[in-house]
Amino acid sequence: MQKLERAVCYIRVSTAEQAVNGVSLEAQEEKLIAYCKMYGLEIVKVIREEGTATKPLKDRPGGKELMGLVNSRKVNNVVALKLDRLFRNAEDALHVTRDWDSKGVSLHLVDMGGQVINTKTAIGRFFLNMMAGFAELERNMIAERTAMALEHKKRNLEPYAPTPLGFERINDTLKKNDEEWEIVNLIFRFRTQGLTYAKIAEELNNRGIPGKRGGKWYGSTVRYVYKNDLYAKEASMKGDEQDEKNNVNSNFSSL
């Protein structure tokens, strides 16, 4: 009896890739679906994930779902665009794919330098081992280029990703919003006073000061402001300035 070929498609893109390079989940999905149709693979699930591959596959939300489908024998094929969509590094790739081999699960990489790799074959497995190292090199190089591109955009006040707190997008330029910069300065002064990110978020919420899009503050959003060099270059950190700037409260008294 012929083995039924069921597949899970996994697509991933980082926020930075979308912002700088225009990479999209939809473009990846279109290619994977076309591949599965061509090779007669029944798609059980398309898993979409956003974020960088800093965690091993098994520790990402989408990765856990994929591993669950594999371990429960609901699929016997995993389809992705490239190796770095799935795995953090070469070690992660080889460890996981060896386990998949023992379960009879094949990995299909639809676009590895214009070539398809299928680990069901011996030559496919050979190329996987070789390409794992190259994929890690490529991912590191992309990370460097992305970081450089973001730094360039920040340095020249060009729009990137969602418009950050303290700025307004006017055509292709970021212009300072003085009212929002009062919030940025306040965050920096709170940090110099030793407040934690969570405590700063609590203080901002208690004062009725909204986030960029009108929502609540969280420790993570406060940390993003404080750690982002776009703010750090201009934010006031002088402890002897007028404490907490009274006009911050007045600006938001009507909220």
Count Cβ neighbours within 10 Å for each residue of 212-226 and write b for 16 or more, e otherwise: beeeebbeebbbebb
Q: What is the DSSP string of 174-199?
A: EEE-HHHHHHHHHHHHHHHTT--HHH
Say yes or no to pLDDT of 255 above 80. Answer: no
Q: What pLDDT, in 10s, does the model give residues 177-212?
A: 888 888 988 999 999 899 999 999 999 999 999 888
Residue 71 near residue 104, CB atoms below 8 Å: no
pLDDT at res. 128:
74
Strands 42-50 and 173-176: unpaired
The residues that bridge with 80 in the sheet, in sequence order, are 10, 109
pLDDT at res. 149:
64
User: What backbone torsions phi and psi does residue 44 show, to the nearest 5 degrees?
Assistant: -85, -40
Q: Mean pLDDT for the chain?
A: 79
Grade residue 227 by pLDDT with cuts at 50, 70 and 90: confident
Grade residue 31 by pLDDT with cuts at 50, 70 and 90: very high
Residue 148 near residue 156, CB atoms below 8 Å: no
User: What backbone torsions phi and psi does residue 155 show, to the nearest 5 degrees?
Assistant: -60, -35
Q: What pLDDT, in 10s, does the model give residues 63-72?
A: 999 999 999 9
Rounded to whole angstroms, the Cα distance separating 223 from 71 reads 38
Output 107 or 120, whichever has higher pLDDT: 107
- Average confidence (pLDDT) over 100-113: 89
User: Residue 33: CB partners within 8 Å, gap ≥ 6?
Assistant: 9, 43, 46
The residues that bridge with 79 in the sheet, in sequence order, are 9, 108
- Average confidence (pLDDT) over 145-174: 70
In this structure, the number of other CB atoms found within 10 A of the CB of residue 194 comes to: 7
Rounded to whole angstroms, the Cα distance separating 219 from 200 reads 7
- Average confidence (pLDDT) over 85-112: 87
pLDDT at res. 235:
55
